[in-house]
A and B are shown apart, each in its own frame.
Chain A
Amino acid sequence: MSHSPSLPAKVRARDINVHYGDKHALKHVDLDIHAHEVVALIGPSGCGKSTFLRCINRMNDQVDSARVTGLLTLDGDDIYDRAVDVVQLRARVGMVFQKPNPFPKSIFDNVAYGPRIHGMARDQAELDEIVMTSLERAGLLAEVRDRLDEPGTSLSGGQQQRLCIARAIAVSPELILMDEPCSALDPIATARVEELIDELRENFTIVIVTHSMQQAARVSQRTAFFHLGELVEVGDTEQIFTNPQHPLTQGYITGRFG
């Protein structure tokens, strides 16, 4: 167990509903995410796990037809409060996407992008420091130290995804959302990213959406199972995979459907 229930939750979701136009994509979801834990969201395609993830940094704001109701707090502050500036929220909640999406810029500029737009560095030396530390933490520095000027798109898929992780942690977020971060990677690159997730847990809280149950079992402390827009079951990862309480969960993790 990595968290103590007595601590207040980092993210607290209460009765979250999401509609895309007429479609009720997420139904009455209650979920707590505690600091310094990795929470895996699993479930069949279209079950609402990515939708829930994208509520936490208000990425759903980009979708015109999306409507979110319910209470979602980060450190006790309502994320959907009118007073919240979505720019500041996203600086606190980083995101890594399914497909590596480095900007068409140099490796250095990719990592420096966030610190620059948020004015985090007073001078070049400080910016260098942030970029180097982020690359180091993402386990990429050794591979790219000599070619920071090359375009980020010249890296391999796995390196690109670690570059995107470095880019996310350069802003020093408290929470990192990962939307199937390994689905476009080969097994070796996947193993490298999974190791990285485990190391990052020391400093960050991580929510990861994954289709691979082995991955959920390897990297997460707690697992939430979604089905048809509802949160069916949430619990310690070990318990979910060895002794699921709900028949749907059992059916899914044993491969009977999904």
Chain B
Amino acid sequence: MQLLVLSLVLLALTALGYRLGRGRALAVIDCHPRHLHSLPSYHGYWVAMWCGLPALLVLAGWLMFEPSLLRALVMSALPAELAGLPDERLALVYNEVRNVARYGHSASSAAVADAARHYASLRQTIFAAAALAALSLAIAGLVYARSRIHRQLRTRNRVESAIRVFLIAASLVAIFTTIGIVLSLLFESLRFFQSVSVSEFLFGTSWSPQMAIRSDQVGSSGAFGAVPLFTGTLLIAGIALLVAVPLGLLSAVYMAEYAAPRFRAVVKPLLEILAGIPTVVYGFFAALTVAPFIRDAGTALGLTVASESALAAGLVMGIMIIPFVSSLADDVITAVPHSLREGSYGLGATKSETITLVVLPAALPGIVGGVLLAASRAIGETMIVVMAAGLAANLTANPLEAVTTVTTQIVTLLVGDQEFDSPKTLAAFALGLVLFTITLALNMVALSIVNRYREKYD
């Protein structure tokens, strides 16, 4: 509440800064804007920045450091009987102090109640100090910037370089987030590889990630050979591509070359809806409709089919990624220059000859790119396989058996209470790293193929 009021006051000050700066600039040149180096509004923005930015930095610093500063101050003032406790107990006590001070819980002892009062008053003081600093900085900035305004001041250049810094900062957020994720994957994986060797993980054929909690426990030795996971992932993704590539490609050819414009305008968005269905819906469709159907059909034919067969998950995933293939293929087929088609027709080629001999070869790089993107999507897909594929890490190529995938295993490894120093939990990071590497490589290959193709016909 206090923070909200403070922010509003600062915002109002900043707006005032804009008005004052602009007015000052106009006053300096007697309302003849041609005499100014920059437009009056740039002077306004410049003053507003001097007013708002330092105050914003102070507030940001307060938000970041307030909790740790408070904690340090409160802890140092604790009475001896509390300060002597071990670290874990101390953390609990501090938690209680905070709850008493902020949410009005009742204190369990007089010492805690004292500490809570101390906490509350410190908190008020720190906030008041921060607010005072922010407000005085804002006013000082405003007064300073306004007094600096003169005819030749290059405020346009300054405002624009400030805007550029903002833009750079915005893009850096995304980049650093990615780097952070990769680093955390990397370091946790390194910890995992301290207990399980890289070669065992990458080439071992047995996966059973149960660690013994007590040393005398039996049957839970833990095996971290990820090969069955990789083969399971490839099997399901392979089935998905077998479904999606022919269907997607053929529908793209129909949409781009044969369909009447009115039909295309209706059907293409319908096809793309497939990509918008939540994957969890696909998941229960696979688990509750397709899998039992395949099992019953298999039984009728005298085959043994697992309830959670790779076939069911792969088929449904294939339907899901059809739009990835068809939409991209449709784009590249439409982008093949009309002159190539005319050249082929002019030689007496039929429509199908033109499509198979000229249009598709010309569009091939883009189509390959689309297929690779779909493949990376299929490999990284989680929800469908969590619901429809099994948990048993079978090393098999038989689509009628249950297999498990990298993503499914990551989910099961991390669901529930976990200890973060067990190889069982850390294995998830190693699997995530492998998954990330594969999909990143696929995406990069796909994008470079697509880009090379685009350069050719533009």
Contact = CB atoms under 8 A, between A and B. Distances in A.
Question: Do chains A and B stick together as partners?
Answer: yes
Q: Count chain A CB atoms within 10 A of each CB in B337, B340, B348 and give the residue with the most.
A: B348
Interface stretch (B315-323, B353-361, B410-418): B353-361
Interface in A69-103: 87-91, 94-95, 97, 99, 101-103
A104 interface: yes
Interface of B: 337, 339-350, 353, 357-358, 361-362, 456
A87 B342 contact: no
A171 interface: yes
A208 interface: no
A117 B346 contact: no
B347 A90 contact: yes
Contacts of A87: 348-350
> Secondary structure of the B side of the interface?
helix
A159 interface: no
B238 to A, nearest CB: 29
A171 B361 CA distance: 22
A167 B347 contact: yes
Interface string A53-81: 00001010010000000000000000000
A171 B362 contact: no
How many interface residues does chain A have, given as a range? 20 to 34
| Top 7 A-B residue pairs of the complex, sorted by shortest distance between their CB atoms | A95-B346, A90-B348, A91-B348, A101-B339, A114-B347, A101-B343, A104-B362
Contacts of B340: 101, 103-104
A11 interface: no
A246 interface: no
Contacts of A118: 348
B346 A90 contact: yes
A168 B362 contact: no
A61 to B, nearest CB: 9
Contact of A113 (B341, B357, B456): B357
B362 A117 contact: no
Nearest to A90: B348
A40 interface: no
Contacts of A102: 343
15 contacts: A87-B349, A87-B350, A90-B347, A94-B346, A94-B347, A101-B339, A103-B344, A103-B362, A113-B344, A113-B349, A117-B348, A164-B343, A167-B343, A168-B346, A171-B348
A65 to B, nearest CB: 12
A113 B346 contact: no
A104 B348 contact: no
A189 B79 CA distance: 97
B381 to A, nearest CB: 33
A62 B350 CA distance: 12
Contacts of B337: 101
A57 B341 CA distance: 15
Contacts of A59: 342, 345-346
A90 B349 CA distance: 8
Contacts of B342: 59, 62, 95, 97, 101
Given A117-B350, A117-B353, 17 more contacts: A59-B342, A62-B341, A62-B342, A87-B350, A88-B348, A91-B347, A95-B343, A97-B346, A101-B337, A103-B340, A104-B361, A104-B362, A105-B361, A117-B349, A117-B357, A153-B456, A164-B343
Contacts of A62: 341-342, 345
Contacts of A90: 345-348
B133 to A, nearest CB: 66
Contacts of B350: 87, 117
Contacts of A168: 346-347
Nearest to B340: A101
Contacts of B347: 90-91, 94-95, 113-114, 117, 167-168, 171
A176 to B, nearest CB: 10
Q: Count chain B CB atoms within 10 A of each CB in A87, A101, A118, A168 and give the residue with the most.
A: A101
Given A103-B358, A103-B362, A105-B361, A114 B339 contact: no
Interface string A160-174: 000010011001000
Nearest to B358: A103
A167 B358 CA distance: 14
Nearest to A98: B339
A137 B349 CA distance: 22
A211 to B, nearest CB: 18
Contacts of B344: 103, 113
A235 B150 CA distance: 77
Given A87-B350, A104-B361, A105-B361, A97 B343 contact: yes
A97 B339 contact: yes
